[in-house]
Structure 1
């Protein structure tokens, strides 16, 4: 049997291109799945791997359609060897039925892992270099004390305005030099810490 496996990450993505390519390999059956490549729960692939028998062939459009990581690809490679199953990746030009194809498959998975490791190191080095230059990485720090004081003052003014049915809040914030997002951030924090005082502030 020649099986084809096609996968896309979301329900909105289209499988047509992969299926068209797989049909050129005269697949007896094409299994499709709409699941993220990083998902451990891929029932169609799991069932297919259990179905494969000696001398069967599994064809995919590209390695990343079947594998979620280099480690996973190596596991699949061992699975195919144990079952004497041929594996073909069209775009990667891999065919494990030939000695050169099997070798290239092993090298490709190893290089993929190496590339990921190098990228990870570069990201870490870049963050460290940015940190040494004084660049703030990660989440922004909390609101400054000065901004809190400004917001508290604006809060007091706006509360009084609302009591008099005057709702020119935007003007108050402008006069105080307070960004709208900063003010609402303060209000949300205030409400969280003062649940007994939930006035309408917008």
Structure 2
């Protein structure tokens, strides 16, 4: 069980040193620093921290706004930590998910977020009803008139909205894509991504994942090399490569947990069975090591 610090600054002119010193004084065993906008959810350093954090660890920040700029993003990160059996604490805010008081504060925040969403829905419905009663037609007048400038604005807005939606789930798939492509085929990358999704998160399709990756490449969030042709993998080497990829994502993962992950992916054992045993995983890991597939 370790205290893991995360420090973020928005611009190159700022320094994370004061945050790092405060985190070190609080007892952090390791501190990860990142220069990125708070509104950008596709933060590679944070993604790696969340991907590697282990059961019993605590993610520590100086202030909540160093981790997230929106309540929905904060709750999403804490949900991922809880799914791993890890905790979250802020030095300057009353949130510590390892304590009853901190959990209560989190529940209040979650209720406030749901109340805000309900208010927005209610106001939207009331506005539409009022507009219909006054004979106003909904929609953009410029679009109805096929104005090129209005059409261009809508396209830009839709593109920005799509990237914003991708940012909300980037931590689920970006680390896997960055680590596994182009060494692994998209079919296997997809299965690894879906097997590690938090409960209740809809599964990705290959078309949807490819569209997201292409967009992130065009935005500069991912290198173009991830779209390269996958290297040819012999049939006998595929399972060792798959097990090595799962182990690489979480070096502390147990053999039984790898078995559970492979069964969730509906991957068959070397003998064609549906149930995996730790001994089979150990054998594949040893073979992956001989093939140079393990870090």
Normalization by structure 1: what TM-score? 0.53
Residue in 1 that maps onto 2:54: 53
Residue in structure 2 matched with residue 25 of structure 1 by the alignment: 26
Q: Is the 8 A contact 1:70 1:110 kept in 2?
A: no
1:124-178 superposed Cα distances (whole Å, 9 cap, x missing partner): xxxxxxxxxxxxxxxxxxxxxxxxxxxxxxxxxxxxxxxxxxxxxxxxxxxxxxx
Are residues 1:82 and 2:89 paired? no
CA shift for structure 1 position 22: 0.6
Corresponding residue number in structure 2 for 1:158: none
> Equivalent residue for 1:72?
73
Deviation (angstroms), 1:40 = 2.8
Distance 1:115 1:34 in 2: 30
Deviation, 1:15, is: 1.2
Distance 1:48 1:97, change over 3 A: same
Q: Structure 1 residue 41: deviation in Å?
A: 2.3
The answer to which structure has the higher strand fraction is 1
* Displacement of 1:51: 0.6
Give the drift of 1:86.
Answer: 1.4
Q: Does the CA contact (< 8 Å) of 2:71 and 2:109 recur in 1?
A: no
Look up the match of 2:45: 44
Q: Which has the higher helix share?
A: 2
How many aligned positions are there? Answer: 119
- Distance, in Å, in 2 between the alignment partners of 1:61 and 1:116 is 28
Structure-2 separation of matches of 1:18 and 1:72: 21
Question: What displacement does 1:46 show?
Answer: 0.2
- What is the Cα deviation at residue 108 of structure 1? 3.6
- Answering whether residue 107 of structure 2 is matched by residue 106 of structure 1, we say yes
CA distance in structure 1 between the aligned counterparts of 2:6 and 2:99, rounded to whole angstroms: 21
Contact 1:61/1:91 (<8 A) preserved: yes
Distance 1:115 1:8 in 2: 28
Which residue is 2:242 aligned to?
A: none
Corresponding residue of 1:180: none
* Cα distance between partner residues in 1 of 2:25 and 2:89: 13
Which secondary structure does the structure 2 equivalent of 1:55 belong to? Answer: coil
Structure 1 residue 111, shift from structure 2 partner: 4.4
Q: C-alpha distance in 2, partners of 1:90/1:23? A: 12
Shift of residue 116 of structure 1?
A: 10
Alignment of 1:53-202 (within 5 A): 53-108=54-109, 110-111=111-112
CA contact (8 A) 1:70 1:113 kept: no
Deviation, 1:112, is 7.0
Deviation at 1:4, TM superposition (A): 0.1
Structure ID, larger Rg: 1
Give the TM-score normalised by structure 2.
0.37
Structure 1's 21 and 100: CA in aligned 2 closer, same or farther, altered over 3 A?
same
Q: Distance in 2 between matches of 1:109 and 1:61?
A: 21
Q: Secondary structure at the match of 1:72?
A: helix
